[in-house]
Amino acid sequence: MTSIVLGKDNQWHEHETGLPLLNRNVDVIAWDLDSSMFNTSQRHWMIPEIRAKHKTWEDYSMACEYDEPFPAAVALCCMFAPHARQVAISGRKECALDLTWASVRRHGIPLDDIMLSPPRIAGDKFKVDGIRKLKKDGYLVRLFVEDDPRVAEVIREMTGVPVLVVNPCYPERAF
C-alpha cells in the first residue's frame, strides 16, 4: 500500500517516490452527471413515458436544464479541480450538450470537458469507451464518480478504474 504525505509545496505526494499524487496535466477525475452531479428527480416522471414509447431518452436529456447540482458533488469537484482535470462522461444524450454546458457554467462547476452519449448507445458502454479514449489520449483516469452500482461494476471490470458510488438519496423510486 502506498502512503501519502503533504509536501512542502502544499500538494499531496506518494511517500515512497516523492511524486505528486495528482498531476493536472495527465490525471483525470471522471464524473457521471445524472444523479451523480445533478439531482434529476424533477425528470423522473418521464421514465414510465419512455418505457411506454411516448418519450425518448433524448427528451429526458433535454429536460436537464432544470436540474440542480448536488452541493457535495460540486464541493468534491472543486476540491479536485486544482489537482486533476475534471471530465464528465455521461449517458445523457449529446443533443443536450449546450444545455449541459450552460448549467455547468451557471452553477460554477469546474468541469474541463463533457462527453455525452450519442443516440442508441448504452450509458455503461459509452462510459467505458470514454475512459478508454482518455487513456489512449495519454490521460490517467484516477477515479470515476457514478450513482449506479451496476454501471460502476462494469466500469471497474472493463477499465480497472476505481469507482466512487454515490447515493443520490432519492425517495423510493416510483419508476
Angstrom distance (rounded) from CA 55 to CA 76: 33
Task: Say yes or no to pLDDT of 3 above 80.
Answer: no
Q: Which domains does the chain have, with CATH numbers?
A: 22-165 (3.40.50.1000)
For residue 152, give the H/E element and its range: helix 149-159
Minimum mean pLDDT range among 41-50, 81-90, 107-116, 164-173:
164-173
Query: What pLDDT, on a 0 to 100 scale, did the predictor assign at position 98?
Result: 96
152 contacts: CB under 8 Å, gap ≥ 6: 144, 146, 163, 165
* pLDDT average, residue stretch 49-53: 94
Q: Write out pLDDT tens, residues 73-114.
A: 999 999 999 989 999 999 999 999 999 999 999 999 999 999
Q: With DSSP H G I counted as helix, E B as strand and the rest as coil, what are the percentages for the chain, rounded to 5?
A: 40, 25, 40
Q: Write out pLDDT tens, residues 121-148.
A: 888 899 999 999 999 999 999 999 999 9
Task: Say yes or no to pLDDT of 35 above 70.
Answer: yes
157 - beta bridge partners? none
* pLDDT average, residue stretch 140-169: 94
Query: Residue 68: how many CB atoms within 10 A of its CB?
Result: 12
For residue 14, give the H/E element and its range: strand 12-14
Task: Say yes or no to pLDDT of 20 above 70.
Answer: no
* Beta carbons of 32 and 146 less than 8 angstroms apart: yes
Query: What confidence category does residue 175 fall into, taking pLDDT thresholds of 50, 70 and 90?
Result: very low
